[in-house]
Amino acid sequence: MPDLYTPGATLASYCPTCKASLAHTITAVADGKTAEVTCTTCGSRHPFKHPADAPKARASRAKQRTGTPPSVAASWEARMAAASGEEQVYTMAATYCVGDIVLHEQFGKGVVLKLSTKKCTVLFQNKERLMASANEVLQELDASRHTYRPTTHQA
């Protein structure tokens, strides 16, 4: 195993310059351990840092907690790309289909995700909103009412 750590050998290390775990060439070895490595991407020499110790993951996760949840924007982008429906200006008097793209003067572009009576759920870039529409009762909604209630016998 100490044979792995010889000058000139290649190993994965975290590079503080590239801010990523990349291939490095060992340039100095101390006590059978890697002491200094050279990044094969940017060529900078720095002490060996195990990829698992990379500060990257923790920092970016903390950053994501503030502002618009990235999941909403990401799913909006994905839905917009996949949307096959017509692009139309949003009005309360219109009926929509799942997958339709609506243009709202305030919220921008959105994708219809779900239909319900006189309403539809539209995913806009920053938020999912329940919007008024002229949609009629759907069979799907009726199905949810068929909840089984066992009759309890009372003495």
Which residues are near Zn ion by CB under 5 A? 15, 17-18, 39, 41-42
Considering the complex, state which of residue 21 and residue 116 has its C-beta at the smaller distance from Zn ion.
Answer: 21
CA separation for the pair 103, 14 (Å, rounded): 45
Considering the complex, state which of residue 17 and residue 91 has its C-beta at the smaller distance from Zn ion.
Answer: 17
3 state DSSP class of 63: helix
Considering the complex, state which of residue 14 and residue 96 has its C-beta at the smaller distance from Zn ion.
Answer: 14
Task: Give the residue at shortest CB distance from Zn ion.
Answer: 39
Considering the complex, state which of residue 39 and residue 122 has its C-beta at the smaller distance from Zn ion.
Answer: 39
Give the strand pairing for 101-104 and 108-116.
antiparallel
CA separation for the pair 67, 70 (Å, rounded): 8
Q: How many residues does the chain have?
A: 155
The residues near 87 (Cβ < 8 Å, ≥ 6 apart) are 100, 101, 102, 103, 109
Q: How far is the CB of 72 from Zn ion (least distance, A)?
A: 34
Q: How far is the CB of 19 from Zn ion (least distance, A)?
A: 8
Q: How far is the CB of 22 from Zn ion (least distance, A)?
A: 6
Q: How far is the CB of 89 from Zn ion (least distance, A)?
A: 50
State the DSSP code for 126.
S
